[in-house]
Structure 1
């Protein structure tokens, strides 16, 4: 896959956040198509071979004991990962640049036209599913391979090289999508009756449904009722403060009925909650409605409505249902004045949708250039594990431990979305205690606990562009 000059710049821009060689001369890096021979006049250069394959033809290599898929090969896919020739050139034989671009840019989402019932790119059709590597930040591994090669080059040519890490250990980004706030809302009480009568779908038994119906009915008739199980924000705030966590809450406005929330931003309880969160140092942001992923006017209106009602400027967003159309939704978000998104995850499976465990810039295929908005990738949503995958609490915890170790390797981040309405022992016995212990175990790993706005600020301050003349395509 021959990359355009802008696509190569895009990859080097992100690679430059991991490693920098000082005092490189112009055109020290040469990109050569695999249909051509390496020019004999090249000396002391860093050479990347580009594959002529139009689509991924993956094979595996073993790197630091792990099987890493290379998506685009060259004439000699079974050769060394990199080597030096007699003229002092460092030559990367595998097409790591195209492989990294394919994942990081989301190119596979452009190529796959089929979407799921919610208009999302389906995990089932992803290359991560096909090759079973959704659990690995493969782009980070590509960059690590390149970095190790560059370190050897710098040593051989007496050049200074710096390894860089955005986070000393790893960052923990906890967020909550505030979709539902009233478990016993009359709407849900009526809906459970419809489920019992077979008029609406349900995975619960008839006895469980009718039990929940009568609980809801009794709750609404009781003048001395306790706090609703989904209005658990006081407990969440106190737990996170105790553990030294400051999370990000994304709020969803009422629109289009059941697919969205049943509250408005101007609701007194919501405004009071947002005020409390801000006062306690938490971040509040926009949870874009179901329609907003494809409707820019709608998105801009709800952002303005949110800011007017709450007196809070929203710089971050997560799209409801993780609905996303790449790169269209990014453009709508940018036009609305949003600075970062954190929607990119597979709804059906935890892991790395773009193969990367750090913030990154998306790519605009329509204009062939890097976009300025930031993506903070979502690594795990509790619904993906407990509902879609039907995994146990223990399996979820094991997955969290795995992603923490991957983040630690690369100075990356582990991001966890846990809905407030999914910490309800009535629906899922034992989940409150499990959630508490899970957060405690994460904090025991000593991460930097950061809000989305902190991660964006840190990444944008850390960010440096490589010299514009550092590479040449031939």
Structure 2
């Protein structure tokens, strides 16, 4: 494939060719371009959602165009997160909420419309160029595990442990008091210590599994074990022997380069290898600042692209892509992996039953399979603990991997 802006070079070419412009040159495959990809800066763009057969689309291209929409400009608008650069209402955690997105407002948040457009585009191309050989994608599944709290009861220090016992007594949580005591005395395994089982399932189903460890200082929103705790460090090292490890920058890091740098160095000192994977804690993401910080710190892949309170595809795709920085008008080396759902979204925010949660997960997975995309799930180690609100979720995780 070759791109050219020279008319004589284009006309002289004898093979399949496409023009992306306002007017065609001859009878070639022609896509009438929207102005977006030729603009500089960020502008308030009027978007009218229409339908390409049964799929939402925008930026109509007119009758002369070989396809009815400029899917390149539309895809760029969604994948660059253009709308997140524009003024918008933030949620309690200063995040861009799903409800503010064009995808949610127009009912296509749970559809990777960019991938669907690509398949429609491919069908039209095959009609025009039937002898051309096309590269095929294949479906992939990636299980990602956020470790916000490695242990429920153990290794939290004297003050936090004593406070936990005291809260159990004051609130008459005697079963929890007993479980806490049994775990601390090593009579019973800590409920959140589900790592061996996750790794066993990884091996059984041959599923790529990534772990993101939170190593921030203790705050109201960051309550993991101390990064200096020997047992915690041993856990991270042991998990790293069997799966890839990433960082989970803390709650207040998303606009603070020094915090992210500090936490990255902590993790690298534990595993003795460069850390190149990341996902923001609480999915706090300020575009483009957070991504610019990650790029500065040589992070290669980020897994934050998704919403906390809604399932679906924040960038309207289930295919990893490189972040395009609208501030500098450049494609960056940071690859973004959109996730389809988070366990807390279904269990806590949407209050789904076990049956509803599994059905929604499998529905999203099938949606990704239909376009040969990458199905990225976001779970937490406690989701397999079979305690509290997570009773039954171990079976959901197993069925998700197996289907």
Normalized against structure 1, the TM-score is what?
0.73
Name the structure 1 match of 2:219: 257
The alpha-carbon deviation at position 299 of structure 1 amounts to 1.1
Structure 2 matches for 1:243-322, cutoff 5 A? 243-279=205-241, 281-322=242-283
Q: Paired residue for 1:384, among 335, 345, 352?
A: 345
Deviations 1:400-442 (A, max 9, x none): 22222222222211111111123333312632xx42x334433
The alpha-carbon deviation at position 256 of structure 1 amounts to 4.6
Structure 1 distance, partners of 2:184, 2:55, is 59
Name the structure 2 match of 1:453: none
Name the structure 2 match of 1:442: 400
The alpha-carbon deviation at position 175 of structure 1 amounts to 1.3
Structure 1 distance, partners of 2:209, 2:320, is 17
Name the structure 2 match of 1:49: 32
Deviating more after overlay: 299-308 vs 375-384: 299-308
SS at match of 1:370: strand
Matched, 1:171 2:146: no
Structure 2 unpaired stretches of 5+:
4-11, 37-44
Normalized against structure 2, the TM-score is what?
0.85
**Alignment length (residue pairs):** 381
The alpha-carbon deviation at position 269 of structure 1 amounts to 1.3
Structure 2 distance, partners of 1:276, 1:222, is 21
Structure 2 matches for 1:56-455, cutoff 5 A? 56-62=47-53, 67-74=54-61, 76=62, 91-155=66-130, 160-165=132-137, 167=138, 170-184=139-153, 187=160, 190=163, 210-211=172-173, 215=177, 219=181, 223=185, 225-279=187-241, 281-428=242-389, 430-431=391-392, 434-435=393-394, 437-445=395-403
User: Judging changes above 3 Å, is the alpha-carbon distance between structure 1 residues 193 and 118 closer, same or farther for their aligned structure 2 residues?
Assistant: farther
8 Å CA contact 1:285, 1:316 repeated in 2:
yes
Deviations 1:72-107 (A, max 9, x none): 234x5xx6xxxxx7xxxx622322222211111111
The alpha-carbon deviation at position 138 of structure 1 amounts to 0.4
Structure 2 distance, partners of 1:289, 1:396, is 27
User: Judging changes above 3 Å, is the alpha-carbon distance between structure 1 residues 109 and 27 closer, same or farther for their aligned structure 2 residues?
Assistant: farther
The alpha-carbon deviation at position 196 of structure 1 amounts to 10
SS at match of 2:279: strand
Structure 2 distance, partners of 1:216, 1:283, is 35
Structure 2 distance, partners of 1:229, 1:439, is 16
User: Judging changes above 3 Å, is the alpha-carbon distance between structure 1 residues 126 and 277 closer, same or farther for their aligned structure 2 residues?
Assistant: same
User: Judging changes above 3 Å, is the alpha-carbon distance between structure 1 residues 422 and 95 closer, same or farther for their aligned structure 2 residues?
Assistant: same
